[in-house]
Amino acid sequence: MATALGNLALVAETQGQPARARLLYARSLAIRQKKLGPSHPRVADSISRLAMHHWEQGDLAQARRLMTKELALVEKHIDPLLDATSERERIALIRSRRDSLHRFLSLFTRSQDHRDTYHALMRWKGLVANSLAAQHAAVLGRAEPQNRAAFLQLHNIRRRLAALAFTIPKESAQQSRHHTILALTARKEGIERELAIASKSFHRQRSLFAAGLEDLCAQLKPGQAMVDYLRYQRSDPPNPPSAHYLAYVLTARDCLHPRRVDLGKAKPIERNLQAYRQLIATGASTERLRRQSQRIRRQIWDPLAIEQRWVWVIPDGALGAFPFGALVKKTRFLLESTTFGYLASSQELLRLARMEPSTSHAALVIGGIDYGQIDTKRTDRSGDLGAGLPPFDPLPASLTEARSIVEILNSLAAVEVTLLSGTKAHEQRVKTAMAAKRLVHIASHAFSSDDQLASSVGFNPMLRSGVVLAGANKKQRPSEAEDGIMTAAEIAGLDLRQTELVTLSGCDTGLGKVVAGEGVLGLRRAFAAAGARALTLSLWRVADHDTMRLMKDFYQQMKQFPAMNKAQALRQAQLKMLQQKRRQLGQADPRSWASFVVSGS
């Protein structure tokens, strides 16, 4: 009856009968409150429809009151479910209810609302990633050894799923493989639920993410700013919702009063970002890159009016694949005046501040990997998944890069370095060797596919990104657990709590499947979930020799200035290459140095 009354209210609205529509909406809400209870999600739906009606009729005070109540009910409904669901279910839950946040942000736009709306955004953005990181830390912690067996079982299932995702079965075995994937996925989600429910430490750690604006501001140092972007569906009754970008700017000097800046419709911004990537990929002139960068700067940076020389960037949507240091103002890049650090969410800064420092003095360097002989008849490894992974060419300069970094690290008396190259850099050995390493450097191919997952594997985008290791080109492998592809799903299950920095010097290592409000579901998310404090990643392909030079200078900076932040060290290495290119060529082509970013701290 409540649903029918709500539908009749919609009819009344279209017939120009607002008073009748309001009465029908109110009756629908009253029935649901009585029969389902005041906190039921269907009650929130009824409140939302009534709020939108008042908004459309110009009664903003009543609309704001109802919208605030709706968001509170939705958050109350979501919170306990995060303690008893799998990763896929958490993402689906947040996506199904994100419109409540978007409507709230669309209605509360006054300057006096900015603090409240940003606090709401803090609670939502990166919620799944932060809850998974808390669960991972809790299960691997000393307090709950009883959950270790389940965690190891989950890790083994992820390995099997990853192997099946990149196996081309015979036609007769495709149906069996399909059923195996479904069974493994169901079991994986079951264990994820069990761990979430069983882990008391997880519930305690997750509660830390309820921190407020004051806690965040305590982590911003003098002279720093934070820019938190969001791609959202902006409501503007009676017009249909449309995708927009907004940004909140927080400065250490006035952090408790965030500024909200609406950047406009998403399509023009994303069109320019995509055009920039195409210019990078097609070898366009630096002049065309400069003009395109200036267009992007006017859209996403100039409206923020930021003067600070250190900026934490929390990107969202398509902004996650763009390095802000490549923005051009007149003839200079922003990198020349500003240090950029990247975070997945504002809560990540709080989580990093609470992490214990690493006690490890060991490092792992991987390069010069033997991917195996390329089979010229084999053009696709993906079977029916559509990943479209090509054979992987050798990277001869990566061995030189690895040896140079080993030499730098060896000069630090306190660091014990392990080098894996050739066929020794196979998947099982790499995973084992990564444990308890303070530094991990991987010079190899990486991949990221934007293709939609086939129905046979469901929603599992963490299988769509990975690092390529020894033997990846081989048709036959000793076991399904060693296919030469270390997926993001497998990485997320490793224990990297002692790891201060992971550097992925391959191409496109910072890309993955984008979920608005949750960031990039790829290698960036995977290493952070495993416990690594910081990651150095690339956003597009870079020439082998340029990567080698940049990485060598990066580590030299960290060796020479141990107290220097990793983002600052990378910036110094990039500035050196930028200036060299400018002296040699008369211009600084961003293709060679701008691709790499540091995510984390």
Burial of 365-379, coded b for 16+ CB within 10 Å and e otherwise, reads bbbbbbbbeeeeeee
| C-alpha separations of 212 from 123, 247, 347, 531 in Å | 9, 18, 9, 23
Degrees (nearest 5) of the Cα angle 528, 529, 532? 40
How far is the C-alpha of 392 from the C-alpha of 469, rounded, in Å? Answer: 10
Q: Is 502 helix (H, G, I), strand (E, B) or coil?
A: strand
Residue with tokens 């000793």: 478
Judging by beta carbons within 10 Å of its beta carbon (0-12, 13-18, 19+), is residue 102 exposed, middle or buried?
buried
Q: What is the DSSP string of 400-452?
A: HHHHHHHHHHHTSTT-EEEEEEETT--HHHHHHHHTT-SEEEE-S-EEE--SP
Its sign, for the CA torsion 420, 407, 530, 202, is: positive
What is the per-residue pLDDT for 205?
53
- Which CB contacts under 8 angstroms, 24+ apart, belong to 574-580? 574/325, 574/335, 574/550, 575/335, 575/336, 577/546, 577/549, 577/550, 577/553, 578/333, 578/335, 578/336
Strands 339-342 and 310-314: parallel
**Where do runs of H (alpha helix) occur along 147-265?**
148-165, 174-198, 200-207, 213-217
How far is the C-alpha of 306 from the C-alpha of 373, rounded, in Å? Answer: 51
Judging by beta carbons within 10 Å of its beta carbon (0-12, 13-18, 19+), is residue 428 exposed, middle or buried?
middle
Q: Is the peptide bond before 562 cis (omega within 30 degrees of 0)?
A: no
Strands 534-538 and 501-504: parallel
| C-alpha separations of 149 from 139, 140, 154, 551 in Å | 10, 10, 9, 38
What is the per-residue pLDDT for 524?
84
If residue 362 lies in a helix (H) or strand (E), which one and from where to where? strand 362-369
How far is the C-alpha of 372 from the C-alpha of 194, rounded, in Å? Answer: 40
Q: Answer whether 416's CB lies under 8 Å from 435's CB.
A: no
Q: Is the peptide bond before 238 cis (omega within 30 degrees of 0)?
A: yes
Chunk the chain into consecutive blocks of 10 residues (it has 601) and report each block's average pLDDT, rounded to whole numbers. Answer: 95 94 95 91 93 95 96 85 73 86 96 94 81 69 64 74 63 72 81 70 53 88 95 93 97 94 97 95 92 97 95 94 93 94 90 86 94 64 46 87 90 86 93 93 80 44 80 62 78 89 74 46 81 90 86 90 89 95 86 92 85
What is the per-residue pLDDT for 123?
86
The tokens of 161 are what? 């799923």
How far is the C-alpha of 442 from the C-alpha of 402, rounded, in Å? Answer: 8
Q: Which residues pair with 468 in a beta bridge?
A: 485
Strands 239-251 and 259-265: antiparallel
Strands 332-333 and 328-329: antiparallel
Cβ neighbour number for residue 271 with a 10 Å cutoff: 12
What is the per-residue pLDDT for 479?
47
Task: Determine the distance from the C-alpha atom of residue 488 to the mean position of all C-alpha atoms in its chain, rounded to a whole number.
Answer: 12
DSSP state, residue 332: E
- Which amino acid is residue 234, in one-letter code? R
**Where do runs of H (alpha helix) occur along 286-419?**
286-300, 346-354, 396-410
Q: What is the DSSP string of 162-181?
A: HHHHT----GGGHHHHHHHH
Cβ neighbour number for residue 393 with a 10 Å cutoff: 10
What is the per-residue pLDDT for 431?
92
Those residues whose C-beta lies under 8 Å from the C-beta of residue 57, and which sit 6 or more positions away, are 18, 22
DSSP state, residue 587: S
The tokens of 369 are what? 């990997």
Phi, psi values for residue 139, rounded to 5°: -70, -40
Domains present along the chain, CATH in parentheses: 2-113 (1.25.40.10), 357-600 (3.40.50.1460)
Phi, psi values for residue 230, rounded to 5°: -145, 130
Residue with tokens 């709500």: 6
